[in-house]
Amino acid sequence: MGTATTRAVSLVGMQGHVVEVQAHLAASVPGFTLVGLPDAALSESRDRVRAAVTSTGLSWPVKKITVNLSPASLRKQGSAYDLAIAVAVLAGAEGPSSAGLRRTGLDRVVHLGELGLDGRLQPVRGVLPAVAAAVDAGYTDVVVAAGDLDEARLVPGARVVGAASLAEVVALHGGPPELVRDVVTVQPARSALPARLPGDLADVMGQERPRAALEVAAAGGHHLLLVGPPGAGKTMLASRLPGILPDLTDREAVEVTAVHSVAGTFDPGGGLIRRPPFEDPHHTATQAAVVGGGSGIPRPGAVSRAHRGVLFLDEAPEFGSKVLETLRQPLEQGELVIHRSGGAARYPARFQLVLAANPCPCGLAVGKGLDCSCSPTVRRRYFARLSGPLLDRVDVQVEVQPVDRVERLEGTSEATSSVAARVLGAREAARARLADTPWSTNAEMPGRFLRDLLRPHPGLLGPIERAMTDGRLSLRGVDRVLRMAWTIADLAGRGAPSVSDVGNALLLRTGGDHG
| Whole-number pLDDT of residue 329 | 87
User: Residue 324 — very low, low, confident or very high, per pLDDT cuts 50/70/90?
Assistant: very high
Encode 270-281 in three state secondary structure: HCCCCCCCEECC
* Pick from 56-60, 229-233, 265-269: least confident: 265-269
CB-based burial, 313-340: b 16+ in 10 Å, e otherwise: bbebbebeeebbebbebbbeebbbebee
Strand partners, 122: 114
d(CA 210, CA 341): 44
Query: Which is more confidently placed, 190 or 144?
Result: 144
How far, in Å, CA of 398 to CA of 7, rounded? 54
> What is the DSSP code (8-state) at residue 193?
P
Residue 142's beta-bridge partner residues? 110, 160
The answer on pLDDT for 204 being more than 90 is no
What gap in Å lies between CA 172 and CA 160, rounded to an integer? Answer: 12
Q: What is the mean pLDDT of residues 333-352?
A: 85
Which residue did the predictor score with more confidence, 258 or 368?
Answer: 258
Burial of 458 (0-12, 13-18, 19+ CB in 10 A): exposed
Out of 187-201, 202-216, 418-432, 471-485, pick the least confident: 187-201
User: Phi, psi at residue 257, to the nearest 5°?
Assistant: -65, -40
Q: For residue 405, how many C-alpha atoms fall within 13 Å in the half-sphere facing its CB?
A: 0
Q: Is the pLDDT confidence value at 265 over 90?
A: no
Cα–Cα distance for residue pair 258/112, rounded to 1 Å: 16
Q: Band of the pLDDT at 271, cuts 50, 70, 90?
A: confident
Q: What is the mean pLDDT of the chain?
A: 89
Torsion of CA 449, 451, 457, 463, to 10 degrees: 130
- Of all residues in the chain, what percent carry a pLDDT higher than 90? 60
- Euclidean distance between the first and final Cα of the chain, in Å? 75
Q: Which residue has the higher pLDDT, 194 or 452?
A: 452
Contacts of 410 (CB under 8 A, 6+ apart): none
Exposure b/e, 111-131, CB count within 10 A at least 16 = b: bbbbbbeebbbbbbbbbbbbb
- Distance between CA atoms of 4 and 470, rounded to whole angstroms? 73
pLDDT tens per residue across span 483-509: 999 999 999 999 889 889 988 999 998
- Residue 335 pairs in a beta bridge with 348
512 pLDDT above the threshold of 50: no
Q: What is the mean pLDDT of residues 458-469?
A: 78
Between residues 206 and 318, the one the model is more confident about: 318
pLDDT, tens digit, for every residue of 416-444? Answer: 999 999 999 999 999 999 998 999 999 99
